[in-house]
Amino acid sequence: MTSAYQKMTDAELDAALADLERQAADLRALDLRLDMARGKPSPEQTALSKPMLDLLTSASDLSDQGVDADNYGAPDGLPSARALAAELLGVDPANVSVIGSSSLNLMYDCVENGYVHGIAGERPWCQQGTVKFLCPAPGYDRHFTVTESFGIENVPVPMREDGPDMDVVREYVEKDAQVKGIWCVPKYANPTGVTYSDEVVCAFAALRPAAPDFRIYWDNAYAVHTFRGEGDELLNIFDVLSEQGKKNLVYEFASTAKVTFPSSGMAWVTASPDDMAELRRSFSAMRVSPEKISQLAHVRFLRDADGVREHMRRHAEIVAPRFALVQEKLSAGLADLDVATWTDPNGGYFVSFEGPEGSAKAIVALTAELGVKLTGAGAPWPYGSDPRDTNIRIAPTYPTLEELGQALDVFVVAVKLVAARLAKAERA
Ligand SMILES: Cc1ncc(COP(=O)(O)O)c(C=O)c1O
């Protein structure tokens, strides 16, 4: 893509640069302090779940289908919580463990299980020498941090518009027994917003891993987070696996982090009966039983999948205008300049922005200098290293609409200025 700045004469480019430097100086003088960095729900969104706090009192019946929420027991979580979690993912409650408030925590526990104890009777990874995980990139930085923290080698895999490049995935998974896992966010992926196509889901289910202890880490964090229209449909990978007569390939995770309260919700994992039996053995050494009072409040508040969908419609009313504003501001500011592309998802928490080659770090730094914090450039890549330095993750949910508008105005000026500076540098 040749940018409008690259097409300008020297005099036109100098004039554009001077104008943009002036705009940047004006913005700097405003001394803004805005944050578009992390994908957090806004206070308006978390307020939607505050009535949940009124549902349990000292007078409440704390039992759920014969299980006492206020005591030890039910290591896989309350029956109603397992039923809700299973209904949301379309799986059998018998294969679900609802544990803790963070799905990332459960992912860490599963990786740790492979590292310390081993999976499916294989030696623990800590005794196997080099171990690798595939990381579709751009992806979720915290996934990559989990495996990096164990010294596992994170291998980037290209993300396409319908999911990871499955030719690359197949080549690694089926030929290299050091590859033990792949991180996936199959619906409204962080940060691209991509939902994996049926073809990609089927290709995942059809994998014949070289390593018996290879698993797909299917993080369905945004399963119910549609904010536009009917949303995207994701094939149920467990249905595809059973159609193909396969098992023991997928660990699926989800949580209510961005349904109710981040870090005070409920999180769960589901897998095949064999895999769940193995994970349960590992989990049972970690805790007697999970925190169930919060689970009880959640099921009394959300009730069932329809209740969750209704609640998510209220989230959508708050979130959709923010995502629309991102599209409006980026289109108005950048569409004619051929400097960037960006995603326009139907759900999730992010817009993924691609600037000119070699621009992302400079744009994030300049935006910060002008008072707007963004996710660090490169963060969505293993080891923080975006090979082309083009990708920036925009997280529009937390700021107010007014703040978001200001932040995007700053971002647009920063993108233009960096693109113009790059065009100038090319001519030097
Ligand atoms: C893809 C993805 N998975 C997991 C999480 C964290 O979920 P939890 O709070 O349940 O650990 C996030 C949070 O941003 C996320 O984007």
Chunked into runs of 10 residues, the chain (428 residues) has average pLDDT values of 94 97 96 90 98 97 97 97 98 98 98 98 98 98 98 98 98 98 98 97 98 98 97 98 94 98 97 98 95 98 98 98 98 97 98 97 97 94 96 96 96 98 94
Class of domain 57-304: alpha beta
Instruction: Give distance in angstroms: CA of 104 to centre of ligand 1.
Output: 6
Is any ligand 1 atom within 6 A of the Cβ of residue 257?
yes
Report pLDDT for 422: 97
- Going by alpha carbons, the residue nearest to atom 12 of ligand 1 is 221
Q: Please report the pLDDT score of residue 268 as a whole number.
A: 98
- The dihedral over CA atoms of 67, 70, 75, 77, expressed in degrees to the nearest 10, equals 70
Distance of CA 107 to the CA centre of its chain: 13
Cis peptide before 356 (omega within 30 of 0): no
Tokens of 422: 């790059």
Counting from 1 in the atom list of ligand 1, the atom nearest the Cα of 101 is: 10
Q: Cβ distance 321 to 401 under 8 Å?
A: yes
Q: Is the CB of 367 under 6 A from ligand 1?
A: no
What pLDDT is attached to residue 38? 79
The CATH 3.40.640.10 portion of the chain extends over 57-304
- pLDDT value, residue 37: 87
Judge if pTM exceeds 0.85.
Answer: yes
Check if 104 has its Cβ closer than 6 Å to any atom of ligand 1.
Answer: yes
- What pLDDT, on the 0 to 100 scale, is given for residue 399? 94
- What CATH number does domain 4-45+309-427 carry, 3.30.530.20, 3.90.1150.10, 3.40.50.1370, 3.50.50.60? 3.90.1150.10
> Nearest 5°: phi and psi at 352?
-100, 130
Q: State the span(s) of the chain assigned CATH 3.90.1150.10.
A: 4-45+309-427
Question: Does residue 76's CB lie within 6 angstroms of at least one atom of ligand 1?
Answer: no
Q: Which atom of ligand 1 is nearest to the CA of 255?
A: 10
Cβ(268)–Cβ(103) under 8 Å? Answer: yes
| 144 Cβ closer than 6 Å to some ligand 1 atom | no
State the Cα–Cα distance between residues 267 and 257, nearest whole angstrom: 8
Within 8 A by CB and 6+ apart from 299, the residues are: 64, 78, 80, 81, 84
